[in-house]
Amino acid sequence: MSRIAARFEKLRAEGRKAFVSYVMAGDPDHATSLEILKGLPRAGVDIVELGVPFTDPMADGPTIQAAGQRALAGGQTLERTLAMVRAFREGDAETPLVLMGYYNPIYSRGVARFLEDAATAGVDGLIVVDLPPEEDDELCLPALAAGIDFIRLATPTTDDRRLPKVLENTSGFVYYVSITGITGAAEAQAEVVGPEVARIKARTDLPVLVGFGIRSPQSAEAIAGVADGCVVGSAIVSEIAAGKPVAEVLDYVRGLAEGAHRA
């Protein structure tokens, strides 16, 4: 059983929803980023999403774009991101870790080499936002063959004709984007999200998590209440961008996690 499947099984047994946090690798610098990464599970994070900085992050809003630019300016690379995963795994063999980013750095490294290195480092899943299902031969199917889950995004514009294609080779969980647009653009509304989550769950046995537009423990609780859990990214990255100490960032994450776990 994969770490992701094992984590959801554990959460179901405990009657809890999942809380997933996103941080950008190398932001605000490599050492601080690694310290935050290692602290996330102790702050209540069930699954970690680690962003891979890229020069043209078309799906990201200003907050995460700026985080990627800070990371790149500090020398963060795909290789250093994989090194962070290895360092994380030295002290944590259980928390699932998902890399989120774009295809270009993976393609530049070479898919076979990347998947071998990612699996060895301890990566459990991939979210690659610019590879549609029509391109599954490029990375999705090789990743599944390598034992790495390929997590797909569904959005408010993913209609009933498109949804089966999106779900076809998805594994781990489905990431439902609660709003149309870029990250950090609006606030998620549970009454709008709930019916969409139900529509997706009618087509798959995978957990459905909701991300985008969650900034407070109350919002995390409300959104997790209509899904299998929630994902918070931009709000956490904003705390890091404000220069807050690691302990304060993790306290903020802890509050969000407690909100999701109350659902």
Task: Give CA angle at 240 (227, 118), nearest 5°.
Answer: 65
Active site residue 221: no
Give the integer Cα–Cα distance in Å for 67 and 254. Answer: 21
| The one catalytic residue among 46, 49, 136, 149 | 49
Peptide bond into 28 cis (omega under 30): yes
Residue 51 DSSP one-character state: E
Confirm whether 60 is a catalytic residue.
yes
Determine which one of 60, 124, 136, 196 is catalytic.
Answer: 60
Please name the helix (run of DSSP H) or strand (run of DSSP E) that holds residue 219, with its range, or none: helix 217-224
Rounded Cα distance, 144 and 87, in Å:
24
Q: Provide the strand spans (E) within the chain.
A: 18-24, 47-51, 97-101, 125-128, 149-150, 153-154, 174-177, 208-211, 229-232
Q: Which amino acid is at 258?
A: E
Catalytic residue list: 49, 60
